[in-house]
Structure 1
Amino acid sequence: MVSTFPNPASVDLSRIRLAIRSLQPQLVEWRRRLHQQPELGFQEKLTSEFVSQKLQEWGIDHQTAIAHTGIVATIKGNKLPTPIRLRSQQAASHSATLTASPLPTPQVLAIRADMDALPIQELNEVPYKSQHDGVMHACGHDGHTAIALGTAYYLQEHRQDFSGTVKIIFQPAEESPGGAKPMIEAGVLKNPDVDAIIGLHLWNNLPLGTVGVRAGALMAAVECFNCTILGKGGHGALPHQTVDSVVVAAQIVNALQTIVARNVNPIDSAVVTVGELHAGTKRNVIADTARMSATVRYFNPSFKGFFHQRVEQIIAGICQSQGANYDLEYWSLYPPVINDIKIAELVRTVAEEVVETPMGIVPECQTMAAEDMSFFLQEVPGCYFFLGSANPAKDLAYPHHHPRFDFDETALGMGVEMFVRCVEKFFS
């Protein structure tokens, strides 16, 4: 298949790679500094100051304190866009004379990177171990920030190689409660208006040297609920005098699994997981109340509202049949991550150049994990992709959110190369 995103004749791929390889030591240094000073969502003060300091050092225009700690950097290319050559209407019937149309309006491509860490105590014994007790970069966001910084530095030094504008969005609070939506509300996709957006996630579910990219649904929507079952407590030897909240809760947990098993088309994917269930204080006392917390995941946007309805129907029906009452709190956190077909193709064609083998492209890379990059993708077409970062030979293959999570830092340079080539190919 011939790609609709060929490389422009002016792009020297070997030149890009050599320049980025020379950045690798700085990428590692930046990432390790960030790793030592992890900060939770909307508290990324040190991280934000470090990013702003670097951007200022390189002469890159940027805004700070967006949605508390977010930053948006703007880099304008110096290369003039190529005029589109068209046949003149007068000459079309006599010859093949061509005329130049006005220069096309420069486009705007955004690159997004998240900056926050997790409330996890790091167990790695490395020189760059977290210095903040109980907080750790256990999901690779320190790497994302370093990659975005490297991309900003490269693009600023090579503005002659692209004709549009690149906005680099350093976003707070991806893990929770979500920084993408408040950044959008603050206008990060405006002035100038963003035409497309890309982002990546270092991914220890894929080996180093691979890229996971697909059009359509990549990551799931996430919804949550808390439910308290209100029964009637009593003595364990006299159950007829009670409404046992534990029995009611057990029936509800089992019945909730029928939503996916019997209400969702088997072609679709969905998950209902009750992760917490708390009730009772003593073995011979029937609990007055039982509390459960759960998460719901799905890819298909048409399911929005469906699970809330079915969850409440099941809880209400079982409680009514058992003489119990309930208190349900249900909310939507993030929508699904849906990649645009055309921008996903752009990323795929770049990935084929960066990983240098078709076997390194993983198209079926969906996960039920969620990401608030989805809010950006609801506003403008774009693509979020996975960059393989696991290296079992170096004991760098622990899963995300594990207290021993770490990744092969070779992936940092690959991430910069992916972004840089996407920029130059997008504007070509």
Structure 2
Amino acid sequence: MNETVEHGFAEMVEWRRHLHRHPELSYKEQETADFVAGKLEAFGVEVRRDLGGHGLIGTVRGALPGRTVALRADMDALPIEEEGGADYASTRSGVMHACGHDGHTAALLGVARYFAQRRAALRGEVRLLFQASEEVCPGGARPLIEHGALDGVDAVYGVHLWTPLPVGTVASTGGPMMASTDEFFIDITGRGGHGGMPHETVDSIVAASALVMQLQTVVSRSVDPLRPAVLSIGTINGGFAQNVVAEKTRITGTVRTFDEATRALIRRRIEDMSRQVAETYGASAEVDYLVGYPALVNHESEAERFFRVAPAALPGFAVEKAVPLMPAEDFAYYVRERPGCFMLVGAGNTEKGFVYPHHHPKFDFDESAMKASAALLIAMAESALADES
């Protein structure tokens, strides 16, 4: 483990707990950005602010010429009421850091200080991306890219503290690692009327129910079984009284895939099937399909770097090949533009009670994982900066 990271761990914990007490939702991270910018400026890091909402970029330029590496952390919290009971629990009703972004931000601040203190010997440039609004599409990655976050960048890296993995484990993989995410909203319109005279109506609930069942066949019968995909119905809402045939019913759901061909196929099947099933029942269907984050696909060469670098950076840690995950991440946009790798850092600890899943009201993580996150990002950056241009 990097000795400088070890020595700075206590402050990293302080930063993380401050952010945990004062969470801010996506697109509202003003105080968080102010806190981060203040720390960066105190380290002597050049800061650009208000990029893509409340995103910011810190830049450490080495005294010697060389390559440029970008490192990214996300800053936003979730609309969840915290139930954990820690003394650093959220002070804001209905808002909490339930995914570890406070830890990501604190770890990257530690990395920023590390490189700022070594500017005289640094070859090249380290660019620190503190990104807003990862949790809510369209997200903060693309706006940050549009503001030049990746201009001149040779490689980009990010980490996610991950409680399904135990502390002492890190993981990544080349190729697809996290799924794309799309949402759909299907409005079925029939003809309402009296529940006792159904022959004079077109029942939107019946049509919607039939459609829900038919949509279950999209993955099982239209998608290549060797290509992972998920189509999940989240809600079905229609009607307002027990003796009235509902005129309108809404179905909502999500689609997760790892490749664009499967993603497009499922969209077409949802749109075609919705129209056809509705017409069968004398109703009509309108589909609003929202394309979200693309699949996160790590570059093979950068994943290989992870497997070379991690064992030395984190002695005694288990370095594993990650199983691709269906949750989505807008880090996907960065690795679409530049070579890069996204990595999972184990943060679960059953002995300490850190067992709850991400986005749970009792979510928390073993803070020692922040040391591993910082050490891994530093090691990846130094390895990439040492490569010949």
| TM-score exceeds 0.5 | yes
Q: Which residue of 2 aligns with 1:71?
A: 56
- What code does the residue aligned with 2:250 have? R
- What code does the residue aligned with 1:426 have? A
- What code does the residue aligned with 2:383 have? K
The structural deviation recorded for 1:161 is: 4.9
Q: Does the residue aligned with 2:359 lie in a helix, a strand or coil?
A: coil
**Quick one: which of 110, 121, 136 aligns to 1:150?**
110
Aligned mates of 1:47, 1:168 — CA distance in 2 = 15
2:371 paired with 1:413: yes
Q: State the TM-score, normalizing by the size of structure 2.
A: 0.96
Q: Which residue of 2 aligns with 1:364?
A: 322
**Quick one: which of 197, 200, 209 aligns to 2:168?**
209
**Quick one: which of 229, 232, 251 aligns to 2:188?**
229
Q: What value does the CA root-mean-square deviation take over the aligned residues?
A: 1.4
The structural deviation recorded for 1:416 is: 0.7
Aligned mates of 1:245, 1:362 — CA distance in 2 = 49
The 8 Å contact of residues 144 and 201 in structure 1, kept in 2 or not, is answered as yes
The structural deviation recorded for 1:156 is: 1.0
Percent identical among aligned pairs is 39
Aligned mates of 1:364, 1:74 — CA distance in 2 = 30
Q: Which residue of 2 aligns with 1:187?
A: 148
- Which stretch of structure 1 is more off in the superposition, 213-222 or 57-66? 57-66
Q: Residues 13-412 of structure 1 correspond to what in structure 2 (within 5 A)?
A: 17-79=2-64, 106-177=66-137, 178-190=139-151, 193-357=152-316, 360-412=318-370
- What code does the residue aligned with 2:145 have? I
Aligned mates of 1:294, 1:362 — CA distance in 2 = 32
- What code does the residue aligned with 1:60 have? V
Q: Which residue of 2 aligns with 1:89?
A: none
> In the TM superposition, what whole-angstrom CA distance separates every residue of 1:258-307 from its partner, at most 9, and x where no partner exists?
11001111111000011011011222222111111110000113224222
The structural deviation recorded for 1:236 is: 2.4
Q: Which residue of 2 aligns with 1:427?
A: 385
Q: Which runs of 5+ in 2 are unaligned?
A: none
The structural deviation recorded for 1:309 is: 0.9
Q: Does the residue aligned with 1:202 lie in a helix, a strand or coil?
A: strand
Aligned mates of 1:314, 1:357 — CA distance in 2 = 53
Q: State the TM-score, normalizing by the size of structure 1.
A: 0.87
The 8 Å contact of residues 40 and 135 in structure 1, kept in 2 or not, is answered as yes
Aligned mates of 1:164, 1:351 — CA distance in 2 = 22
The structural deviation recorded for 1:357 is: 4.6
- What code does the residue aligned with 2:107 have? I
The structural deviation recorded for 1:77 is: 2.5
Aligned mates of 2:243, 2:24 — CA distance in 1 = 45
> In the TM superposition, what whole-angstrom CA distance separates every residue of 1:87-139 from its partner, at most 9, and x where no partner exists?
xxxxxxxxxxxxxxxxxxx2111001100000111111111111111110000
Aligned mates of 1:194, 1:376 — CA distance in 2 = 10
The 8 Å contact of residues 280 and 290 in structure 1, kept in 2 or not, is answered as yes
Q: Which runs of 5+ in 1 are unaligned?
A: 1-15, 81-105
Aligned mates of 2:222, 2:369 — CA distance in 1 = 41
The structural deviation recorded for 1:160 is: 4.7
- What code does the residue aligned with 1:54 have? K
- What code does the residue aligned with 2:353 have? D
